[in-house]
Amino acid sequence: MNAPATKVAIVTGGARDIGRAVSIKLAAAGFKVCFNYLSSAEQANETLALIKAAGGDAIAVQGDMTQSADVQKLIATAVATYGAQIDYVVNVAGGILGRKPLADLDEAFWDAVIDVNLKSVYLVCRAVLPHLVAGSAIVNFSSQAARDGGGGGALAYAASKGAVLTLTRGLAKELGPKGIRVNAVSPGMINTGFHDTFTKPEIRVNVAAATPLKREGQASEVADLVAYLLSDGASFINGESVEINGGSFFA
């Protein structure tokens, strides 16, 4: 990835798992990275240490991306540290929060899942817009669940990630004339703490066995895809969702 050292990237949820891999990848490519975390302060410090040990430049900002004030703080900190222009935004922050079938899917849980996966993307894109310029790019995180409805108890999660795809397409149309590209990535089964917490081991084994490549994906592979979508090599890709699932689902 060809990235001048003056480029600035914001990564939400950038302290662990796929977000960490994205933060490290972009810093290694020469970006100044401002990444956000919610409660994983220890992991944020580890990510900073990894980036700085490799000669990269990064800062970590705590905040809840479902709260407008925290989003504004993230953007303001990036601007105060690296300047008014922000070149790239990667919206990784999100989660399933739990698995509930419709009968148990209370309104508060529904709202929380929609907020963490969809509202967070909307708030970050709105807040960062004044700092984007022609040539900037945004990558949002959806999921294979947006296409296939997700696994058991993932109704709210799948719906929220489907909405991220629609938001991405709308933003691509609105911001494209300004020279700002907006795309999404939709991971399938990736070896992360997400599935360590919310997916039973036997289900993971079965999903990997049913995947043509016979394995789970790695966070670094998703980070490589994100880096490509931000690069000049992807300059005519806009409004797309790129599936990364080893061939387990075709959009």
**pLDDT digits over 170-185, tens only?**
999 999 999 999 999 9
pTM of the model: 0.93
CB-neighbour burial class of residue 68 (10 A; exposed 0-12, middle 13-18, buried 19+): middle
The answer to the question of residue 149 being in a domain is yes
The answer to the question of residue 102 being in a domain is yes
Of the pLDDT bands very low, low, confident and very high (cuts 50, 70, 90), residue 195 is low
Distance from C-alpha of 157 to C-alpha of 163, rounded to nearest angstrom? 10
pLDDT above 70 (res 5)? no
The answer to the question of residue 79 being in a domain is yes
How high is the pLDDT of residue 208? Answer: 79
Provide the CA 207 distance to its chain's centre, in angstroms.
Answer: 22
Of the pLDDT bands very low, low, confident and very high (cuts 50, 70, 90), residue 135 is very high
Of the pLDDT bands very low, low, confident and very high (cuts 50, 70, 90), residue 13 is very high
Q: How many domains does the chain have?
A: 1
The tokens describing 145, both together, are 């669940």
- Grouping H, G, I as helix, E, B as strand and the rest as coil, residue 106 is coil
How high is the pLDDT of residue 1? Answer: 52
The answer to the question of residue 123 being in a domain is yes
How high is the pLDDT of residue 3? Answer: 46
Mean pLDDT, the chain, whole residue set: 94
Q: What is the CATH number of the domain that holds 35?
A: 3.40.50.720
pLDDT in tens, 51-75: 999 999 999 999 999 999 999 999 9
Of the pLDDT bands very low, low, confident and very high (cuts 50, 70, 90), residue 217 is confident
The answer to the question of residue 60 being in a domain is yes
Of the pLDDT bands very low, low, confident and very high (cuts 50, 70, 90), residue 198 is low
Active-site residues: which are they?
Answer: 157
pLDDT above 80 (res 200)? no
144: containing domain:
8-188+219-244
